């Protein structure tokens, strides 16, 4: 497996597919490409993501610019520039970051705004709404990029981390007073105890703790792991389909737990975070198939054991296993599972000649047919090809392995 060639093909996809126009990143990267065709979710996609460009017959670019997708892509291009010794790739990273900080208007700056210093969901759609998961990624990546030499991002990242911490402390105080299932209707969108949501904040707070000596982030991180380890809240379990594995969380959530838990455990030397990360990584190892894929069971993906979900599961499980391998003394079981996932991802990387496909990973792969397939959802499935959340994080897994770098703080 030539990992560098895998990354090079994906870099070429970003630059040639039409998801980033112009292809130097000046106006950012779109969230995703959608294959219309027989997409059964197309009507709902059109209703909710109406800023579109048809770059070819039946091939739509959903033009909204998300901060998390753009920051993930920026880090990917910065690392790719390093390993490929290509300064033009670093220029793309520069442009993406300048787009976010100078041209996107996604950062909330009004003094009377309860979400001041946090980042809105998307430009031009719904930029006034702040989501927990997106902001966790934004904080993580701002500070990760700052630690790599982009010192100008430090203050922005710390301000966002402090704002996110204040909202999370309010939420945990609410749970302490009213119980784990108490409804919570203020603060940020997506405030719940799922690893996809509040679990990711522990990763962000690990990066903040490494750079912000004035604030103690330990309590807000410990609170999450205490609540997460005490069982799935009833209001979440009642609203979810049974998992294929029979586990309380989907494997997607265990991917997030392995990733965020490992990062938090290393920064805070917190036994509960360490135990959570190991348990999650062990479950990923146990439920990985011989093909290297993890069964798709996320609510926003068609679910079946033979399907691989690359938007919510395979990507985060791969990164989670890598960070668990590093945290736990390079244990062989985590390395084997990580390698199998990389081999699977390299095998299925799109080999089509069309530029909007060539070198990408689409959203859902059918291991029975050996091709992209399995159905569509309005934010997932075979016909959605994400910039961040799929392609950039998967390339980051290869790049981290090539360079020995990681998302650990500091």
pLDDT in tens, 105-141: 999 999 999 999 999 999 999 999 999 999 999 999 9
pLDDT in tens, 242-284: 899 999 999 999 999 999 999 999 999 999 999 999 999 999 9
Residues 199, 142: contact at Cβ < 8 Å? no
Q: Is the CATH code 1.50.10.10 the one for domain 3-403?
A: yes
* Ramachandran class of 95: left when φ > 0, alpha when ψ lies in -120 to 50, beta otherwise: alpha
The three-state secondary structure class of 52 is strand
For 300, counting Cβ atoms within 10 Å of its Cβ (0-12 exposed, 13-18 middle, 19+ buried), the class is middle
What are the backbone angles phi and psi of residue 193, rounded to the nearest 5°? -85, 5
pLDDT in tens, 36-93: 999 999 999 999 999 999 999 999 999 999 999 999 999 999 999 999 999 999 999 9
Domain boundaries, the chain: 3-403
Residues 343, 280: contact at Cβ < 8 Å? no
Q: What does the DSSP 8-state code read for residue 110? A: -
pLDDT in tens, 199-215: 999 999 999 999 999 99
d(CA 199, CA 203): 8
pLDDT in tens, 353-408: 999 999 999 999 999 999 999 999 999 999 999 999 999 999 999 999 999 999 99
239 C-beta neighbours (distance < 10 Å), count: 9
């Amino acid at each position: 497996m030539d990992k560098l060639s895998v990354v090079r093909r994906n870099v070429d996809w970003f630059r040639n597919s039409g998801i980033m126009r112009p292809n130097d990143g000046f106006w950012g990267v779109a969230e995703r490409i959608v294959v219309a065709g027989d997409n059964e979710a197309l009507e709902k996609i059109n209703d909710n993501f109406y800023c579109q460009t048809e770059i070819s017959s039946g091939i739509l670019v959903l033009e909204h610019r998300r901060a998390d997708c753009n920051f993930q892509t920026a880090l990917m291009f910065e690392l790719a520039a390093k390993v490929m010794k290509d300064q033009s790739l670093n220029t793309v990273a520069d442009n993406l970051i300048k787009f976010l900080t100078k041209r996107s208007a996604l950062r909330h700056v009004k003094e009377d705004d309860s979400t001041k210093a946090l980042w809105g969901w998307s430009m031009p759609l719904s930029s006034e709404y702040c989501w927990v998961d997106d902001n966790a990624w934004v904080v993580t990546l701002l500070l990760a990029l700052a630690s790599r030499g982009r010192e100008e991002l430090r203050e922005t990242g710390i301000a966002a981390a402090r704002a996110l911490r204040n909202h999370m402390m309010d939420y945990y105080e609410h749970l302490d007073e009213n119980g784990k299932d108490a409804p919570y209707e203020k603060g940020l969108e997506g405030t719940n105890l799922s690893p996809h949501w509040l679990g990711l904040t522990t990763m962000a707070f690990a990066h903040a703790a490494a750079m912000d000596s004035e604030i103690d982030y330990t309590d807000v991180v410990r609170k999450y792991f205490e609540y997460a380890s005490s069982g799935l809240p009833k209001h979440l379990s009642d609203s979810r389909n049974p998992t294929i594995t029979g586990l309380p969380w989907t494997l997607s959530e265990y991917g997030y737990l392995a990733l965020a838990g490992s990062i938090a455990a290393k920064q805070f030397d917190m036994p509960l975070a360490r135990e959570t990360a190991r348990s999650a990584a062990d479950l990923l190892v146990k439920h990985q198939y011989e093909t290297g894929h993890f069964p798709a069971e996320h609510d926003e993906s068609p679910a079946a054991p033979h399907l691989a979900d690359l938007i919510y599961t395979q990507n985060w499980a791969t990164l989670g296993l890598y960070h668990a391998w590093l945290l736990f003394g390079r244990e062989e079981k985590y390395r084997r599972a990580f390698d199998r996932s990389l081999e699977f991802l390299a095998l299925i990387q799109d080999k089509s000649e069309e530029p909007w496909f060539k070198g990408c990973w689409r959203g859902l792969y059918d291991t029975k047919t050996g091709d992209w397939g399995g159905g569509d959802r309005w934010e997932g499935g075979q016909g959605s090809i994400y910039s961040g959340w799929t392609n950039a994080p998967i390339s980051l897994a290869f790049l981290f392995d090539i360079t020995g770098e990681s998302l650990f703080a500091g």
